[in-house]
Amino acid sequence: MSAGPADLLAQEFVAFCVRAGVLRFGEFRTKAGRLSPYFFNAGLFDDGDKLGRLAGFYARRLLQSGQEFDMLFGPAYKGIPLAAAVAIELARLGRNVPYAYNRKEAKDHGEGGVLVGAPVAGRVLIIDDVISAGTSVRESIGLIRAAGATPVGVAIALDRQERATEGGVDAPWSAVQQVSGQLGLWVSAIATLDDLLRFLATTDDAGPRQHAQAVQAYRARYGVENA
């Protein structure tokens, strides 16, 4: 999902991430080996206030989207607190849904297995921070289908809108487009790289604004069309 030019929720989210230090600027090496002028670290939503506000953005975006789902699924490990927090926020806003998550290793005592929480059933929405290579999404799809349920979508915080890599070569599509087109899941992002660029172009804060040209150049070099 690519947010429109008047997407106030996305602008509010980007501003929040910059203030919280979750979205930083400088030079950062990505998993694909690219030198990125910005870095989004969801692990820094590391206290109750920041996590609660993050969940609020997810919940508002999902309610705005009108997409249908019956429950949430959080992939281990980052997706676990995200799914729990979003479930709480959705309930607060009047949309109470169950959630579940997976373990990295199966448990052979107690309830056993790799799935924890509500029974995985119906239309399942995966909650994650970003989609990089889509590995976490594919693993989640396998677990959800093995439980007899149907994966329908993925909710993420930020869509980087940049080319995926296939065997070390840049692909003409992004990881989000791959999940949407090849795996058949809808993707809901709170904000996109284009939203970040809009923020940098309009903010009164000279600190982030000075990085606008570098982020735009990165988008031009590694970005995908129609994202």
Q: Read off the pLDDT of residues 92-147 as tens digits, 9 standing for 90 and up.
A: 999 999 999 998 776 555 455 799 999 999 999 999 999 877 788 999 999 999 99
Q: What does the DSSP 8-state code read for residue 98?
A: -
The pLDDT, as a whole number, for residue 56 is 98
Amino acid of residue 23: L
Beta partners for 165?
170
* CA dihedral of residues 76, 181, 192, 22 (deg, nearest 10): 10
- pLDDT-derived band at 25 (thresholds 50, 70, 90) equals very high
User: Which of 3-7, 133-137, 217-221 is predicted least confidently?
Assistant: 3-7
The mean pLDDT of the chain is 91
**175-200 average pLDDT score:** 94
**23-49 average pLDDT score:** 94
- pLDDT-derived band at 54 (thresholds 50, 70, 90) equals very high
Give the number of residues written for the chain.
227
- pLDDT-derived band at 223 (thresholds 50, 70, 90) equals very high
- H or E segment to which residue 174 belongs: strand 169-174
Question: H helices then E strands: how many in the chain?
Answer: 8, 10
The pLDDT, as a whole number, for residue 3 is 41
**31-58 average pLDDT score:** 95
CATH for the 8-222 domain, from 3.40.50.720, 3.90.1150.10, 3.40.30.10, 3.40.50.2020: 3.40.50.2020
The pLDDT, as a whole number, for residue 115 is 95
The pLDDT, as a whole number, for residue 24 is 97
pTM (2 d.p.): 0.92
In angstroms, the Cα distances linking 94 to 59, 81, 88, 90, 112 are 11, 20, 10, 6, 32
Positions marked catalytic: 107, 109
